[in-house]
Chains A and B, each alone.
Chain A
Amino acid sequence: MSTIAVPVARPPLWRRLVGFNLLAGIALGIIGYVIGQWIGGRFTGVNIAYYSKTAGQNDIAIMLGYFFGVVGFLIGMGFANYPIQRMLGYPPTLAEHEAEEEGVGRYFRLCTDHKVVAIQYLVGIGVFFFIGGLNAMLIRTELLQPNTHVFGANQYLTLVGMHGTMMMGMMTSGILGPFANWVVPPMIGARRMAFPRIESFTFWLLMAAGVVLITTIFFGGFQTGWTGYQPLGDQNTAGYDAYIGFFALVGVSMTLLGLNLAVTIISMRAPGMTWTRLPIFVWSVLATAALMFLAAPMLIAALLMGAMDRTIQTAFYVAGQGGSSYLFQNLFWVFGHPEVYIVALPGFGIVLELLPVFARKPLWGYRLAVSGMLGVGLLSFFVWQHHLFVSGINADLRPFYMLSTELISLPTGFTFLCFMGTLWRGRIRFTVPMLFCLAWAFNFLFGGISGVFLSDVPSDVTTHGSFFSMAHFHYTIMGGLVFTFFAAIYYWVPKMTGFNLSERLGKVHFWTMFLAFNSTFAPLFALGFMGMPRRVVTYNPSFQALNDWASVSAFILGISMLIFLYNVVWSLLIKREPAEANPWHSKSPEWQLATPVPVYDFERTPVFDPDPYPYGVEPVPVGRPVVAPAGGQA
């Protein structure tokens, strides 16, 4: 392609920096924040928010500040241009800034190329993943000693809350954002998402949300953990407004991301790509997307109720005034339990997608795997009260929730069976992505088994709210999602960026991470069993040995992340060894694209095999050519 590049005189730097881009976004974001604060100040002048004057904080002003700040940021990024054009009646378009800009510039602005958005997602989420990880390191530092404080009690709880919120909010899109956006279109034979501008919108909204969350430290933090239970949240200082703002924006982003992916998969499969030929990863994305756009609105609603409690003085969560603390718990977990499967399901997809490549075999039990994913998705809406087993709510229904929760292990078991079946008599190659997939099986096995203790009410009485449940969900989410996240990075980054990651460093990263991860979280099961509750800043001195062990392991886990970072910086930014088009000899469609991938992905719609995993057999092409309509655009 480089041969036809026409040398164009590049405008000066300042000229290129002016326009709708990140700089303008930040500038307008700050201006918007100030405007919102000012309007909020005016409002409270007429005394709508009654507690602003006495409490020394003005939630209305802060909320409006966040709102206008985010709106300003999005306007600066250029997201208002198209809506305004539409208001003036200009016809719809589906592309923006795709091919017209050189180099890295397009990564800092609204770009509708799904490959660009995917890399934006990968880097953006990566940044917040590392901030969240840093919080975890600080938490473990505090827990080195039972009752001597490195941080104050407020700061410690803020760290706990930010770690959880940031990880759950950001990593929810951790696989769907970067990898589904990049991989799903080529996998189904499309060049784009159904709504490319919304695709970009979800990313920039997520980044704005992340900044909103970090600003909590300027308002005293929030001491509620990521669950943000009410009425503790109502009671919190202004830092909780940042929590509401963050999670609500993440909810919007999740809803739109899920809708966009689901619509794309449902309506934009190329001819020949029937439902039974979809790669399993696409199925997992579809199941996840459905959970996302159905569950996230409930989170938004629950948070809006909290926001109204704090500003216009409603009493949704105030028991003495006709509200209920259960209301938040219910709404939060009706979202929250699908949410944890939103986090886990893409991991299933990645693992089952990568396994055939590295075992050199077709996926074993394709239909079983699909039904497993859909089953998990469906069941996840019927289990939420297992988070409330000892809360005294609907105690008569506990046997039902026990059953439904344990039933979820059936479809999850399907994934394991397909995993094991695919390895059967395969020719297993221990590449870095494969190692991460295998680690998934190990971690998720223990995550799942510990889940049984939490789903069984008599056992849950002791384990609920303890370090046991904390260890459990780190085994499922970190062991399930983050390991597959890295598997996906090592697997797809050569195609996404066109450069190889170092295999040797990757293996070092894997082994440090895998061992440190297990060494960190396995002792926490024991601590929970011994009676250590979650989110405490002090603990019984007899727990110190195990806590110190976990802390030291956590620091090693942190070091393993630095190894990864070093690998990325060295391999992708400095050494830049060009990648082959298909280094893994994969047979899935996205690897048939050229490397580096052209803007339009492929010239001719790929031809699909009736079997998405034609390993060990000759491929049988079944796709039919696309007929351009009369007067096809030329």
Chain B
Amino acid sequence: MSASGKRLAGIAVVAAIVCVAIALYIALYLTNVPGSASAVETSSGTNLYLATVASAATNDPHPTWVSYYAVDANDQNWRHATTYVLPANTLVHVTIFQFDSQTGLRNPFIGQATGTVGGTFTLNGKTMEAIDPDTASHVFAIPAIGLSVPLYGISSTAKNPCSNAPCPLSNDHSTITFTFRTPAKGLYRWQCFVPCAAGFIQGFGGPMQTVGYMDGFIKVV
């Protein structure tokens, strides 16, 4: 083997290693896609069942983080999903099971619901248009369409709080329902406005800034 042949071989090996490293580097980003869930089409309309928990599942990469889950209404299957696929220009009935305790809002204004049909929501069956901002645990908000619904937190003295997802409905929780009209096709982000990221400054780090926990998309198709 000639000297330049050896060099060629050496360079080829190095190049291969570099390419693998680059592929790995890119893959680390691409693999990290939060799960998605579709709304359930029933005869009564389009339904979306969500849940908010104080801690994600124990096998999650961040088991101490608060998170949204999608819940299958029938068999109570829980999926860690924050991308929700909804049909365009349709009324969607959202039901959220809220298992987390109260934190309070940084901006009390968000204690009032906006953007729902009628400007109201139901909390444990009672129709309301605002809650005491200090009792909020989370918020489901899609700012681009003006939707914002505060989620009432369970009492700090609750007897049977849920520690980690998945949480059966036998745990203490509040149930929030509301209806909103989906916009035209596209990708819209949703987020929470309660400073619920425990341990982060202003409560807005970690799960609040990571798509897949307290942030996600609605994908309107």
The answer to whether A and B touch directly, with their CB atoms under 8 angstroms apart, is: yes
Given the known interface contacts A235-B204, A569-B11, the answer about A154 and B64 at a Cβ–Cβ threshold of 8 Å is no
Residue B29 at the A interface, CB < 8 A? yes
Mark the stretch among A9-17, A144-152, A172-180 that contacts chain B. A144-152
Mark the stretch among A47-55, A82-90, A349-357, A607-615 that contacts chain B. A47-55
Can you list, as one digit per residue, whether each of B172-204 has a CB less than 8 Å from chain A (1) or not (0)?
000000000000001101000000011111101
Q: Contact: B205 with A237, CB < 8 Å?
A: yes
Q: Contact: A51 with B199, CB < 8 Å?
A: yes
* Chain B residues positioned under 8 Å from A131 (CB to CB): 25
Q: Contact: B206 with A57, CB < 8 Å?
A: yes
Q: Contact: B11 with A152, CB < 8 Å?
A: no
Residue B16 at the A interface, CB < 8 A? no
Given the known interface contacts A56-B63, A134-B22, A223-B209, the answer about A235 and B199 at a Cβ–Cβ threshold of 8 Å is no
* Chain A residues positioned under 8 Å from B26 (CB to CB): 138
- Those of B97-131 within 8 Å (CB) of chain A: none
Can you list, as one digit per residue, whether each of B15-38 has a CB less than 8 Å from chain A (1) or not (0)?
000000010011011101110000
* Chain A residues positioned under 8 Å from B206 (CB to CB): 55-57, 237
Residue B4 at the A interface, CB < 8 A? yes
Q: Contact: A147 with B187, CB < 8 Å?
A: yes
Q: Contact: A235 with B202, CB < 8 Å?
A: yes
A138 to B211, CA, bound (A): 19
Contact of A154 among B25, B189, B198, B209 (CB under 8 A): B209
* Chain A residues positioned under 8 Å from B215 (CB to CB): 153
Q: Contact: A154 with B205, CB < 8 Å?
A: no
Contact of B210 among A54, A154, A217 (CB under 8 A): A154
A153 to B65, CA, bound (A): 19
Residue A574 at the B interface, CB < 8 A? yes
A633 to B201, CA, bound (A): 63
Q: Contact: B29 with A235, CB < 8 Å?
A: no
- Those of B1-57 within 8 Å (CB) of chain A: 4, 7-8, 11, 22, 25-26, 28-30, 32-34
A573 to B9, CA, bound (A): 11
* Chain A residues positioned under 8 Å from B200 (CB to CB): 51, 55, 235
Q: Contact: A155 with B32, CB < 8 Å?
A: yes
Contact of B201 among A159, A231, A575 (CB under 8 A): A231
Q: How many whole Å from B220's CB to the nearest CB in chain A?
A: 12
* Chain B residues positioned under 8 Å from A318 (CB to CB): 201
Contact of B29 among A54, A217, A236 (CB under 8 A): A217
Task: Report the nearest B residue to A159, measured CB to CB.
Answer: B29
Q: How many whole Å from A147's CB to the nearest CB in chain B?
A: 6
Given the known interface contacts A154-B210, A573-B7, the answer about A236 and B205 at a Cβ–Cβ threshold of 8 Å is yes
Q: Contact: A151 with B29, CB < 8 Å?
A: yes
Can you list, as one digit per residue, whether each of A200-227 has a CB less than 8 Å from chain B (1) or not (0)?
0000000000000010011010010000
Contact of B202 among A154, A220, A223, A231 (CB under 8 A): A231
* Chain B residues positioned under 8 Å from A574 (CB to CB): 4, 7-8, 11
Q: How many whole Å from B198's CB to the nearest CB in chain A?
A: 4
Contact of A235 among B4, B198, B205 (CB under 8 A): B205
- Those of B62-102 within 8 Å (CB) of chain A: 62-65
Residue A460 at the B interface, CB < 8 A? no
Q: Contact: A235 with B209, CB < 8 Å?
A: yes
Q: Contact: B199 with A217, CB < 8 Å?
A: no
Given the known interface contacts A149-B187, A237-B206, the answer about A155 and B201 at a Cβ–Cβ threshold of 8 Å is no
Q: How many whole Å from B219's CB to the nearest CB in chain A?
A: 10
Residue A241 at the B interface, CB < 8 A? no
Task: Report the nearest A residue to B188, measured CB to CB.
Answer: A147
A152 to B34, CA, bound (A): 9
* Chain B residues positioned under 8 Å from A151 (CB to CB): 29-30
Task: Report the nearest A residue to B26, measured CB to CB.
Answer: A138
Residue A234 at the B interface, CB < 8 A? yes
Q: How many whole Å from A492's CB to the nearest CB in chain B?
A: 23
Can you list, as one digit per residue, whether each of A585-597 has a CB less than 8 Å from chain B (1) or not (0)?
0000000000000
* Chain B residues positioned under 8 Å from A153 (CB to CB): 189, 211, 215
Q: Contact: A54 with B199, CB < 8 Å?
A: yes
A217 to B4, CA, bound (A): 38
**Nearest 3 Cβ contacts at the A-B interface:** A55-B199, A51-B199, A54-B199
Given contacts A153-B215, A237-B209, A575-B4, 4 further A-B contacts (CB under 8 A): A55-B200, A56-B63, A56-B206, A138-B29
What are 23 A-to-B residue pairs whose CB atoms are below 8 Å? A50-B199, A51-B200, A52-B199, A54-B64, A54-B199, A55-B197, A55-B200, A55-B205, A56-B199, A151-B29, A153-B189, A153-B211, A159-B29, A217-B25, A217-B28, A217-B29, A223-B209, A234-B201, A235-B200, A236-B209, A237-B206, A237-B210, A574-B7
